[in-house]
Structure 1
Amino acid sequence: MTNEFPQALTIAGSDSDGSAGIEADLRSFFQCHVYGLVIQTTAVAGNSYGVFDRCSLPNDFIRSEFTNLASDFKIRAAKTGMLPDSQMISLVAEEYQKTDFGPLVVDPVIVSKHGAILMDEPGVNTLREKLLPLSTVITPNFKEAQALTELQIKDDQLIKQAAKKMQSWGAKNVMIKGAHNFESEQKSVRDFVLLADGSTFWLENDYVDTKRINGTGDTLSAIITAELAKGKNVKDAIIIANKNTYRALKQPINVGHQYGPINHWQIKEDLN
């Protein structure tokens, strides 16, 4: 029957070097055997050394993307990626509420792993007020969790407090990513998950010393979205995404001279 094949949507920016953004999302959807659709918000000019230019698509065009996809496809889950400013976040939140695109995974692209600021304070405030309450899952990295909650996270208890704070603002499920052992020499990466029912768990992987890290956050959130589109529950979707993203990070491909992509060929449809 028409539209019975699982479909997932990314609302994000296009990365010209292919390592992150829409390109990483679509690779992840493909490897998870989900058909991927796109609402493009921005375009980024960059390479493995960095981002050198970007531009946003017109608001009317983005609205048209929403309208035309909703009129034809049966999107079962969606995710956000790079939304560069307050105006764009407000637009996406407004348009999303007019559609039936299923559960929403919010990847709040605020601060890079290297500490680069990717969103200004008004954008953070709008994300917190308008997009976070729409999220089925929110997946901030450690620095983004601090920016959203305005907490100086120094231990596991404060990580839990930050997750509960985001949940109190409307996020149903929270996954805080990053290095949470607070050691000077990092040996592992621990992610904390707070589910809608109040239960919690940690996911831990060995630290991988590599510069091939571009697109890890996009990939993780995209796999969660793909698994939700196939009918998985949130806990299973998060666990599958964590395992697959670690596999893709641990076995990189040698592309670009500096911060290259992770290896999406390592993603398997189901790692249960």
Structure 2
Amino acid sequence: MIKPVALTIAGSDSGGGAGIQADIKAMEANGVFATSVVTAVTAQNTEAVTMSYDMPDRIIDAQIDAVAGDFDVAATKTGMLSSSSIIRTVAAKVEAHDLFPFVVDPVMISKSGFKLLKDEAIDTLREILLPLATVATPNIHEAEYLTGNEILSEDDAREAAKAIYAMGPEAVLVKGGHLNEKADAMDLLYDGTAFHTYTADRVRTNNTHGTGCTYGSAIAAHLAHGRSLGEAIDRAKRYVTAAIRHSLDLGNGHGPTNHFFHLDAEMATDSVKLTDPA
């Protein structure tokens, strides 16, 4: 059996709900084989990120070479790239190994307020990484950081998408989950010529840890399947909404999404009995 291969380049979450752990789960749940490059190790749980340690550039470089030298990577997604040097290292390898389509999730700050992107690296993200992106997937807060403009309405989100598009990506998906004016969760895709909207019922839950990582990774997975960007986003939107709807009430903070909710349903109705070998 052969599966498409997707690659995530991101930081590790010791709590398992976000970061590279969420990326791998989401990619595998959406039918691809997930490979990974760890850019940082964080001490993290559902309540907070308490510490972070960046991997040396040469280790990041070597990990990408190892994956790309052996696997036929069909799509790549980035998450936490905390410094200018890490961004430059990753950007150079994405180009050198032709690791496209390329989904850039511009991870900047955790829900608890811990900075996952150094201030000095924001310009590098804009100037070096975004121009390589097949699609950039900022949430409202990240779009505000990238553009320097407050986003309070759908019109503001549209203007932000245009401004980020001008930074070089082929398309921009502004995720509207944090836009409280909307009764539903609406995301805006701008491809340079038109806007496209992706809407789902807003799930009222505190368990939303890792939703951005999950969404971007699901998009990358469907791009790895060879689907168009619009279809990849549509399928990923439906997947992440279901994963939030079936989210897990774990920990004392924001619980994680349930990446394999469909397996829970299958196991609940599975009549197969497992027995220990004699």
Q: Same fold by TM-score, threshold 0.5 exceeded? A: yes
Q: CA deviation at 1:182?
A: 4.6
Q: CA deviation at 1:165?
A: 1.5
**Aligned residue number for residue 28 of structure 2:** 30
**Aligned residue number for residue 186 of structure 2:** 190
**Aligned residue number for residue 151 of structure 1:** 149
The whole-number CA distance in structure 1 between the counterparts of 2:115 and 2:206 is 19
**Aligned residue number for residue 206 of structure 1:** 201
Q: Which amino acid counterpart does residue 37 of structure 2 have in structure 1?
A: I
- Deviations, residues 118-175 of structure 1 (Å, cap 9, x unaligned): 3232211110010000000100000100110112223322211211111122111111
Q: Which amino acid counterpart does residue 205 of structure 1 have in structure 2?
A: A
Query: Does the alignment pair 1:216 with 2:211?
Result: yes
CA RMSD of aligned residues (A): 1.9
Give yes or no for contact 2:46–2:251 (8 Å, CA) kept in 1.
yes
Give yes or no for contact 1:32–1:267 (8 Å, CA) kept in 2.
no
**Aligned residue number for residue 54 of structure 1:** 52
Query: Does the alignment pair 1:90 with 2:85?
Result: no
* Number of equivalent positions: 263
The whole-number CA distance in structure 2 between the counterparts of 1:36 and 1:212 is 24
The whole-number CA distance in structure 2 between the counterparts of 1:84 and 1:125 is 12
**Aligned residue number for residue 99 of structure 1:** 97
For residues 253-264 of structure 1, the aligned pairs below 5 Å read 253-264=248-259
The whole-number CA distance in structure 2 between the counterparts of 1:103 and 1:69 is 16
Query: Does the alignment pair 1:247 with 2:242?
Result: yes
Higher alpha-carbon deviation: 237-246 or 161-170? 161-170
The whole-number CA distance in structure 2 between the counterparts of 1:20 and 1:227 is 19
**Aligned residue number for residue 73 of structure 2:** 75
For structure 2, the residue ranges without an aligned partner over 5 or more in a row are 264-278
Q: CA deviation at 1:39?
A: 0.9
TM-score (norm 2): 0.89
Give yes or no for contact 1:193–1:200 (8 Å, CA) kept in 2.
yes
Rg bigger for which structure? 2
Q: CA deviation at 1:207?
A: 2.5
SS of 1:97's equivalent in the other structure is helix
Q: Which amino acid counterpart does residue 255 of structure 2 have in structure 1?
A: G
Query: Does the alignment pair 1:233 with 2:245?
Result: no
Change (3 A) 1:26 1:267: farther
Q: CA deviation at 1:116?
A: 5.1
Q: CA deviation at 1:211?
A: 1.8
**Aligned residue number for residue 116 of structure 2:** 118
Change (3 A) 1:16 1:5: same
Identity of aligned residues (%): 37
- Deviations, residues 29-81 of structure 1 (Å, cap 9, x unaligned): 11111000011101111222211112111111111112122211100100000
The whole-number CA distance in structure 1 between the counterparts of 2:159 and 2:38 is 34
Higher alpha-carbon deviation: 33-42 or 162-171? 162-171
Change (3 A) 1:267 1:117: farther
For structure 1, the residue ranges without an aligned partner over 5 or more in a row are none
Q: Which amino acid counterpart does residue 158 of structure 1 have in structure 2?
A: D
